[in-house]
Structure 1
Amino acid sequence: MKLKRRNFFLELFIGIIVVYASVLILLFIFQRSLMYHPDENNYFGDKLEVDVEKVKIVTSDNIDLLGWFHKKDIKKFKTIVYFHGNAGKLENRIHKLNHFKDMDINFLIIAWRGFSGNKGKPSEKGLYIDARSTIQWLKKLGLKEKDIILYGESLGTGVATEIAQSNNYAGIVLETPFTSMVEAAKNFYPYIPVSLLLMDKYDNQNKIKNINIPVLVMHGEADQIVPFWMGKKIYEMANQPKYSYFTKFDDHMMEYDEKLLFKLEKFIKSLN
């Protein structure tokens, strides 16, 4: 009887190990499908109220990226380079872009590889290439780093911090930033050895220390995807000059209301 019981628990233990190992293997294989969602559609039919030119940016590894470029006056005003999050198309950001028309600003928003009909598959290395190629495209138009404001949204904050390190851009805006993708993933998979499995780590908390330009961090305390403490920690670790816009009720998709827009425009004006 004891032997049967021992064999039962041994078989149960082995079964649990096999199932757990299988889950780890599947998570490792499909992790980028879990991280990047180019086909997710949160577009609610917003109409562009600002003039944009559809542009093609060719990356250094020969992938064509779709971009929307709004040129109010590239010689007179700063240009925001908008790096979007991990889900959806450019149309998902129309409700934000429409507000830029009332500011003295140009903007260029790009779709990552694999997004908005672009070829290629997203990865940390790939998105860095996309971003650097975008900056080079603007420089060919005559813009210098001091003419450019980097804007990262969620996943895009991981790209913006990478690009901003030890460079002389006008400033950087981080909307709902995370400390690192490892810590963000642990929030969803607490029983998984994420640090061992994750290929795309986007280590914001170490890179923010290498950024020496004005920083604006925006985050809502009700964020259910990237915990608010992460955005607060990024702000605390950032070098001066730094500014924050923290709200009590905003979720992951922050409300582009009068208060946020006032803070954003004030920050932009301070960079001139």
Structure 2
Amino acid sequence: MKINFRKIGRRLLRFAAFIVVLILCGYIFLYIKQERFFFNPKILPKDYTYSFDQPFEEINIAVEDDVNLNALLFKTDSVSKGLILYFHGNAGAIHEWGERAYLYTENNFDVLFVDYRGYGKSDSFYEEESELYNDAQKIYDFALTRYDEKDIIILGFSLGTGFASYTAAKNNPKLLILEAPYYAWNEFIASMAPVPQALINYEIPSYKFLGEVKCPIRVFHGTRDFLIKPEEHSKRLKDLYPDKIERTLIKGAGHSVHLTKQYYDELKELLARY
């Protein structure tokens, strides 16, 4: 039987061309829709009713003329020591994130959770990185209408650590807490997905922002966080700013460090000092 190598070669070339086109189409689709993929928001109907085991106030924070961010403010039953401004992670919405409120109200702090654009009952969607920073500052400005700046702690988890770092850099809170922080968002996403870093619209360079932060910085990171790996992210941040960052590894914890007793004990001790 005679093998037609030329015909086989043409078929292989066509197949290779198909794969290349498929990959390029995937990149184009991902580039256009990356906010939905990388931010993974949970959308709630505007008439959604929140329900929690402790009292809360629902607030809408105007960040543009036609854009409001939905927020929940939980207050401690004790005399409040101030506010923890909480920038949450990339999934879900504040109907879930609000379940963490007790971690802070039990330590005599009020806590404000805010949904980003496209999350929960918040308006609009992000189209460019500058909108993230504008919103973060507007959220902080709102906090200043209720609390003295000397009584504000900024806390960021996962995705929110970049927003928290930016906000702390541009203002003067008394403490910045970062849980499972990344070095830079575009670098993190490129390491997680087969996407060229140049195609990622959002840099969110935490490592740059932290250089401008004037308040103490406390980092918590799980030793078994296989999503945002501590050696690749928080360790590099600590190495970059050894005198500014106090880093605590939560032994055996995954990405959600708040689920561990060590975190609760460390947080209680930390907040007692502030």
Instruction: Report if aligned partners of 2:98, 2:113 keep a CA contact under 8 Å in 1.
Output: no
**Residue 233 (structure 1) aligns with:** 236
Residue 19 of structure 1 deviates from its aligned partner by 1.9
Task: Pick the aligned partner of 1:84 from 85, 88, 91.
Answer: 88
Instruction: Report if aligned partners of 1:66, 1:116 keep a CA contact under 8 Å in 2.
Output: yes
Residue 160 of structure 1 deviates from its aligned partner by 0.6
Residue identity in the other structure for 1:77: K
Instruction: Report if aligned partners of 2:84, 2:104 keep a CA contact under 8 Å in 1.
Output: no
Spell out, residue by residue over 1:49-92, the C-alpha distance to the aligned partner (whole angstroms, 9 max, x if none): 43221122111343222211134499962211001111112122
Residue 170 of structure 1 deviates from its aligned partner by 0.5
Task: Pick the aligned partner of 1:69 from 66, 73, 79.
Answer: 73
Query: Hey, what's the Cα distance between the residues in 1 that align with 2:202 and 2:227?
Result: 17
Q: Given the superposition, is the C-alpha separation of residues 259 and 93 from structure 1 closer, same or farther in structure 2, using an over 3 Å criterion? A: same
Instruction: Report if aligned partners of 1:49, 1:98 keep a CA contact under 8 Å in 2.
Output: no
Write out aligned runs for 1:87-126 (5 A).
87-122=91-126, 124-126=129-131
Query: Hey, what's the Cα distance between the residues in 2 that align with 1:225 and 1:61?
Result: 37
RMSD of the TM alignment (CA)?
A: 2.6
Task: Pick the aligned partner of 2:262 from 241, 245, 259.
Answer: 259
Instruction: Report if aligned partners of 2:74, 2:101 keep a CA contact under 8 Å in 1.
Output: no
Query: Hey, what's the Cα distance between the residues in 1 that align with 2:168 and 2:210?
Result: 9
**Residue 216 (structure 1) aligns with:** 218
What TM-score do the two structures reach when normalised by structure 1? Answer: 0.86
Instruction: Report if aligned partners of 1:215, 1:238 keep a CA contact under 8 Å in 2.
Output: no
Instruction: Report if aligned partners of 1:212, 1:239 keep a CA contact under 8 Å in 2.
Output: no
Residue 134 of structure 1 deviates from its aligned partner by 1.4
Task: Pick the aligned partner of 1:128 from 127, 133, 137.
Answer: 133
**Residue 47 (structure 2) aligns with:** none
Instruction: Report if aligned partners of 1:153, 1:176 keep a CA contact under 8 Å in 2.
Output: yes
Query: Hey, what's the Cα distance between the residues in 2 that align with 1:47 and 1:265?
Result: 26
Query: Hey, what's the Cα distance between the residues in 1 that align with 2:28 and 2:170?
Result: 37
Task: Pick the aligned partner of 1:159 from 140, 148, 163.
Answer: 163
**Residue 244 (structure 1) aligns with:** 247
Residue identity in the other structure for 1:197: L
Query: Hey, what's the Cα distance between the residues in 2 that align with 1:37 and 1:262?
Result: 31
Sequence identity of aligned pairs in percent?
Answer: 23
Query: Hey, what's the Cα distance between the residues in 2 that align with 1:154 and 1:27?
Result: 21
What TM-score do the two structures reach when normalised by structure 2? Answer: 0.85
Q: Given the superposition, is the C-alpha separation of residues 8 and 116 from structure 1 closer, same or farther in structure 2, using an over 3 Å criterion? A: closer
Residue 40 of structure 1 deviates from its aligned partner by 7.8
**Residue 204 (structure 1) aligns with:** 206
Query: Hey, what's the Cα distance between the residues in 1 that align with 2:218 and 2:13?
Result: 55
Structure 2, unaligned runs of 5 or more: 45-49
How many aligned residue pairs are there?
264
Q: Given the superposition, is the C-alpha separation of residues 37 and 240 from structure 1 closer, same or farther in structure 2, using an over 3 Å criterion? A: same
Q: Given the superposition, is the C-alpha separation of residues 76 and 105 from structure 1 closer, same or farther in structure 2, using an over 3 Å criterion? A: closer
Residue identity in the other structure for 1:18: V
Give the secondary structure class of the aligned counterpart of 2:25: helix
Instruction: Report if aligned partners of 2:71, 2:112 keep a CA contact under 8 Å in 1.
Output: yes
| Larger displacement relative to structure 2 (6-15 or 247-256) | 6-15
